[in-house]
Amino acid sequence: MKEYELTVLIHPDLETDLDAPLTKVRDIITGAGGKIIREDNWGKKKLAYAINKQDFAVYVYMDVELPADAPLKVSNTLNITEEVIRYLLVKVDLKARKALAEQAADAKEEE
């Protein structure tokens, strides 16, 4: 299984009851054979441009592990999910993650 970063923009009207759309996204991931490593709700933010006549969206970031055939299944399902305005699913660059960790460790040592 490979690691991916998934950022989902959820319709702003669903901000009050965020559990239902997030459960739907979680079910999509686990249904495709993946697992969620970490989830972070960034809250409601203004979009750079209007999407589906919406100026705001609730941003949710997830670190997920998916098998080889799952990214296509997840993408196809998220495309037709009404609660999701946009999403971004990218493969984790392990070299960049390691470099950032080393950079943070070096900065900590200098303090």
**Does the pLDDT of residue 102 top 90, yes or no?**
no
pLDDT band for position 85 (cuts 50, 70, 90): very high
* Phi-psi domain of 91 (left: phi exceeds 0; alpha: psi -120 through 50; beta: other): beta
Give how many domains the chain has, as a whole number: 1
Q: Which two tokens stand for residue 74?
A: 């997840």
Angle in degrees, CA 42, 72, 12, rounded to 5? 30
Q: In the block, which residue shows the tokens 């759309």?
A: 21
Domain carrying residue 49: 2-110
Identify the H or E element spanning 47. Answer: strand 35-51
Q: What is the pLDDT of residues 20-58, one digit of tens each?
A: 999 999 999 999 999 999 999 999 999 999 999 999 999
Return d(Cα 48, Cα 103) in angstroms, integer: 30
Which CATH number do you get for residue 66?
3.30.70.60
